[in-house]
């Protein structure tokens, strides 16, 4: 068990180093007159913030305080959090903070829009696979079918700031909370008069404005097949969020790899020929919700979804090594390395 914990910690450190590496060019060349940078661990992930402006230390301190507040509200494991109360008082109405109510409302709305491929009620299944504790196992098909009956998000009763869950159901906003946090922090920074900042929230990128010298922020797009990058994204005032089952997974006793993003229809980790889905758009919450949902949908459905919505850009990396990206994403992306690229129009 200690060994597993150690492996988890090593994985987190490695992920942190990789994300830090990606941002090196942006951080070194930010061109700030005055700049504050900080890396810290919160919401079960590493965060890396760069804030430029008149008094960047104070602004950075304020957004860090907000992260702590949101973590207290949204942690699944902290017994004082809104989410914990909802999950452990099933059958009873629970009154939550306005920000929690807004998060729940957003996630349920996105669940509807994505036909339940984003499912904030998937937690009982996620738990059975051990992704909540790190003690992974392959549940039996019977166990999965029984647990799937507890994942109907339409049964969440929700009005104003009051939430009631049916007995046995549990909510988890791991697929949207980081992106949602990015939006809140970006708004807060702008209200503080900051017009240039780069927030890396466990790999979810939220850029406020451009670099203070007017250049784009440069962010590496992770190669899901290696520790390297597929290319660089040049962004300003934009969120970039990636989902993939290479990020957190375990190898089962059958030798197969099982990832942390669950297909809510089957109760098994999504395994549909996609390696990663990266979504870009103005709202971090929207990008975060979509990256998870579209990763579950698979290639054809993902492309169909984009063709209908067209209010975000995306880059899809397939298991055969090919890459598909929207026209808008192509304008932001400088590819490195050799792979087949399809441009979606």
Binding mask 135-174 for ligand AMP (x = CB under 6 A): -------------------------------------x-x
By a kind-dependent CB cut-off of 5 to 8 A, residue 264 interacts, out of ligand AMP, Mg ion, none, with ligand AMP
CB of 105 to Mg ion, least distance (A): 17
Interacting span for ligand AMP (CB under 6 A) from 5-13, 97-105, 290-298, 306-314: 290-298
Q: Name residues contacting Mg ion, limited to 103-122 (CB under 5 A).
A: none
CB of 268 to ligand AMP, least distance (A): 11
| Residue 43: closest CA among 74, 18, 21 | 74
List helix spans (H) across the chain: 2-22, 24-28, 56-74, 82-88, 98-113, 123-128, 141-148, 177-191, 284-297, 299-309, 327-332
| Residue 194 or 219 having the CB closest to ligand AMP | 219
Residue 254 burial (CB count, 10 A): 7
Interacting span for ligand AMP (CB under 6 A) from 94-102, 112-120, 161-169, 185-193: 112-120
Residues in the chain, total: 345
| 315 sits near ligand AMP (criterion: CB under 6 A) | no
| 239 sits near ligand AMP (criterion: CB under 6 A) | no
| 292 sits near ligand AMP (criterion: CB under 6 A) | yes
Near ligand AMP by CB under 6 A: residue from 211, 218, 222, 260:
260
| Residue 76 or 230 having the CB closest to ligand AMP | 76
Near Mg ion by CB under 5 A: residue from 35, 172, 200, 288:
288
CB of 305 to ligand AMP, least distance (A): 15
In the three-class reduction of DSSP (H, G, I as helix; E, B as strand; rest coil), residue 184 is classed as: helix
**Tokens at 313, concatenated:** 């850009």
Element (H, E) at 155: none
CB of 144 to ligand AMP, least distance (A): 14
Task: Report the C-alpha gap between 171 and 163 in whole angstroms.
Answer: 11
| 302 sits near Mg ion (criterion: CB under 5 A) | no
| Residue 107: closest CA among 286, 343, 277, 338 | 286
Interacting span for ligand AMP (CB under 6 A) from 20-28, 117-125, 232-240, 303-311: 117-125
CB of 83 to ligand AMP, least distance (A): 12
| 73 sits near ligand AMP (criterion: CB under 6 A) | no
Helices 177-191 and 56-74, packing angle to 10 deg: 150
Q: Per-residue b/e over 31-66, b at no fewer than 16 CB within 10 Å?
A: ebeebbbeeeeebebbbbbbbbbeebeebbebbbeb
By a kind-dependent CB cut-off of 5 to 8 A, residue 262 interacts, out of ligand AMP, Mg ion, none, with ligand AMP
| 262 sits near ligand AMP (criterion: CB under 6 A) | yes
Rounded alpha-carbon distances, angstroms, from residue 157 to 116, 151, 280: 16, 13, 31
| Residue 175: closest CA among 114, 229, 134 | 114
Site size toward ligand AMP, by CB under 6 A: 18
| Residue 30 or 119 having the CB closest to Mg ion | 119
Strand order in the sheet with 94-95: 94-95, 162-164, 157-159
| Residue 16: closest CA among 198, 206, 247 | 247
| Residue 295: closest CA among 338, 252, 254, 249 | 249
| Residue 101: closest CA among 150, 156, 45, 167 | 156
CB of 317 to ligand AMP, least distance (A): 14
Helices 284-297 and 177-191, packing angle to 10 deg: 160
- Using Cβ positions, the residue closest to ligand AMP within the complex turns out to be 174
Which residues would be at the binding site for ligand AMP (CB under 6 A)? 118-120, 122, 126, 131, 172, 174-175, 243, 260-262, 264, 288, 291-292, 296
Q: Which residues sit at the interface with Mg ion, rule CB under 5 A?
A: 175, 288, 291-292
């Amino acid at each position: 068990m200690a060994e597993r914990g150690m492996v988890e910690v090593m994985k987190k450190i490695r992920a942190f180093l990789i994300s830090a590496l990606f941002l090196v060019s942006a951080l070194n060349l930010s061109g700030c007159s005055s700049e504050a940078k900080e890396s810290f661990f919160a919401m079960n992930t590493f965060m890396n913030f760069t804030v430029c402006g008149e008094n960047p230390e104070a602004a950075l301190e304020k957004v860090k305080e907000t992260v702590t507040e949101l973590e207290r509200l949204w942690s699944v494991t902290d017994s004082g959090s809104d989410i914990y109360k909802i999950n452990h008082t099933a059958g009873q109405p629970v009154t939550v903070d306005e920000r929690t109510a807004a998060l729940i409302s957003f996630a349920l709305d996105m669940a509807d829009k994505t036909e339940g491929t984003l499912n904030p009620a998937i937690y009982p299944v996620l738990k059975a696979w051990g992704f909540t504790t790190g003690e992974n196992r392959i549940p039996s098909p019977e166990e999965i079918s029984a647990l799937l009956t507890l994942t109907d998000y339409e049964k969440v009763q929700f009005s104003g700031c009051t939430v009631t869950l049916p007995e046995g159901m549990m909510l988890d906003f791991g697929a949207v909370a980081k992106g949602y946090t990015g939006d809140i922090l970006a708004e807060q920074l702008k209200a503080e008069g900051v017009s240039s900042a780069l927030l890396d929230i466990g790999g979810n990128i939220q850029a406020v404005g451009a670099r203070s010298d007017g250049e784009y922020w440069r962010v590496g797009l992770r190669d899901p097949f290696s520790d390297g990058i597929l290319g660089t994204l040049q962004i300003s005032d934009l969120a970039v969020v990636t989902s993939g089952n290479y990020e957190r997974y375990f190898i089962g006793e059958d030798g197969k790899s099982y990832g942390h993003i669950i297909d809510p229809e089957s109760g098994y980790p999504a395994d549909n020929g996609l390696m990663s889905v990266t979504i870009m758009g103005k709202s971090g919450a929207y990008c975060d919700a979509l990256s998870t949902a579209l990763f579950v949908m698979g290639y054809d459905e993902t492309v169909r979804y984009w063709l209908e919505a067209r209010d975000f850009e995306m880059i899809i990396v397939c298991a055969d090594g090919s890459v598909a990206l929207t026209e808008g994403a192509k304008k932001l992306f400088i590819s490195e390395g050799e792979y087949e690229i399809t441009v979606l129009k």
